[in-house]
Amino acid sequence: MKKLFVLAILACVTAPAYAQRLTLDIPGLAERASEVVDVTLDGPLLRMAAKFLSSSEPDERAARDIVQKLEGIYVKSYSFDKAGEYDAAIVDRLRAQLSSWKKIVTVRERMGDNTDVYVQMRGEEVVGLAIINAEPRELTVVNIVGPIDLDKLSRLEGQFGIPKMRGKHNE
Amino acid sequence: MSKRLILPLLLLLALPARADFRDVERTLRSQLGSPMYIPLLGVARFATWIVHPHGVRDFQLATWEGNSHAMSMGGADLERLLQRGLTPDYQPLVRVRSRGEWTFIYARPIGSRFEIMLLTHDHSDTVLVRADIDAEQLGRAVSERKIAGMR
């Protein structure tokens, strides 16, 4: 759940302009999961969410500027009682939706935790971001639709629970 | 005697009637029976309406406990009941299912504030909450860490 929160915040902080919204619903998976979390934040509610961020703190102001330009933040997370309760092919199907996107980060850990970060480009601009975090007992997908400034994103590393990406293995 | 009359009248005048909450509560009542009586809830609501603690301007609460019919209800049934009582401007914000517990949060913006309707349900208990919240004021309270356990 903590990781989900970090991913959701990462998504809020990073997401930019008009990108494709991914299909995060995976038929049959919710029934097998012990916990399912589905977050939909778009339209006027997203504008409202930006107001939670302070305009006096520089980092929060930067995050607020980013969030205000976004179209939507969508998170879907499935947790399972035992490892291997979901088919790895599901992750492949999710990745297949991202064939026209650019993968910018791949993390593979010994314990089976895999994270992929994709961006959708329109010209020079990043207009969408997707994060797939697949662990033996948890699958989380984050989709941010809208323009994202990656420079600002790097400023926010280590803030608000956003992990520092240095030291991760970039592909 | 007159004091006894004045307080309820004052509360009635001061607290706005919330059709959405009442509509959802009525729908749930048809399935789960009457909600529990919570002593002094009206006074707490009145105080909230005056003080606006952490940007919360108003709230309503209804709880059902130990209801055997609720045990047979699934999350989809509950969400359908919730949606039936809400106006179309409410959007689903969060849905959580965890080991027989369901939580649904719907929200809508109202000017500079937003209103949330939260329905949570486990094997036998169901809670419905409506809150009218000033986003900026709540955000400031969170930033200043006035709310225990946040950030």
How far B49 CA sits from the closest chain A CA (Å)? 21
Q: Rg of the Cα trace of chain B?
A: 17
Among the partner residues B94, B107, B135, nearest to A52 by beta-carbon distance: B135
Contact (CB, 8 A) for B126 and B120: yes
Res. B124 pLDDT band, cuts 50 70 90: confident
Predicted interface score ipTM higher than 0.85: no
pLDDT at A160 over 80: no
What mean pLDDT, rounded, does chain A reach?
78
Among the partner residues B95, B96, B109, nearest to A45 by beta-carbon distance: B109
From the centroid of its chain, how far is CA B34? 16
pLDDT at B101 over 80: yes
Whole-number pLDDT of residue A78:
93
Q: Which residue has the tokens 């314990």?
A: A111
Q: Is B93 on the interface with A (CB under 8 A)?
A: yes
Contact (CB, 8 A) for A45 and A59: no
Among the partner residues A43, A57, A79, nearest to B91 by beta-carbon distance: A43
Kindly compute the dihedral angle of the four CA atoms of residues B79, B82, B84, B85, in this order, to the nearest 10 degrees: -170
pLDDT at A58 over 60: yes
Mean pLDDT across B46-58? 87
Q: Is A108 on the interface with B (CB under 8 A)?
A: no
Q: Which residues fall within 8 angstroms of residue B134, CB to CB, at 6 or more apart?
A: B52, B55, B56, B57, B112, B113
Q: Which residues fall within 8 angstroms of residue A78, CB to CB, at 6 or more apart?
A: A26, A29, A30, A33, A35, A36, A86, A138, A139, A140
Nearest to B46 by CA among B79, B103, B6: B6
Q: Decide which of A98 and B142 is more confident.
A: A98
pLDDT at A163 over 70: no
Contact (CB, 8 A) for B11 and B46: yes
Among the partner residues B92, B139, B143, nearest to A40 by beta-carbon distance: B92
Whole-number pLDDT of residue A16:
43
How far A40 CA sits from the closest chain B CA (Å)? 5
Among the partner residues A33, A45, A52, nearest to B91 by beta-carbon distance: A45
From the centroid of its chain, how far is CA B20? 10
Q: In 3-state terms, chain A is what percent helix, strand and coil (to 5)?
A: 30, 30, 40
pLDDT at A2 over 90: no
Claim: this prediction has a pTM higher than 0.90: no
Whole-number pLDDT of residue A148:
83
Q: Is B78 on the interface with A (CB under 8 A)?
A: no
pLDDT (tens digit per residue) in A74-123: 989 999 999 888 888 888 888 988 999 999 989 988 888 899 999 999 88
Res. A161 pLDDT band, cuts 50 70 90: very low
Tokens of A32: 């097998």
Contact list in B for residue A159 (CB cut-off 8 A) is: none
- Distance (Å, whole) CA A60 – CA B121: 35
Nearest to A78 by CA among A38, A21, A131: A38
Q: Decide which of B135 and A55 is more confident.
A: B135
Whole-number pLDDT of residue B117:
94
Q: CB neighbours (10 Å) of residue B146?
A: 12
Sheet holding B56-64, edge to edge: A102-108, A114-122, A125-135, A138-148, A72-79, A35-42, B91-98, B101-110, B113-121, B126-134, B56-64
> What percentage of chain A exceeds 90 in pLDDT?
22
Q: Is B110 on the interface with A (CB under 8 A)?
A: no
Q: Which residues fall within 8 angstroms of residue A29, CB to CB, at 6 or more apart?
A: A78, A86, A90, A139
- Contact call for B138 and A52, based on CB within 8 A: yes
Contact list in A for residue B143 (CB cut-off 8 A) is: 54, 57, 60
Q: Decide which of A147 and B70 is more confident.
A: A147
- The residue of A24, A34, A48, A68 whose CB has the most chain B CBs within 10 angstroms, and thus the best one to mutate to test that interface, is A48
pLDDT (tens digit per residue) in A24-46: 778 888 888 999 999 998 888 88
Q: Decide which of A170 and A83 is more confident.
A: A83
pLDDT at B56 over 70: yes
Out of A4-8, A41-45, B90-94, the most confident range is: B90-94
Tokens of A36: 């399912």
The answer to which of A11-15, A33-37, A91-95, B48-52 has the lowest mean pLDDT is A11-15
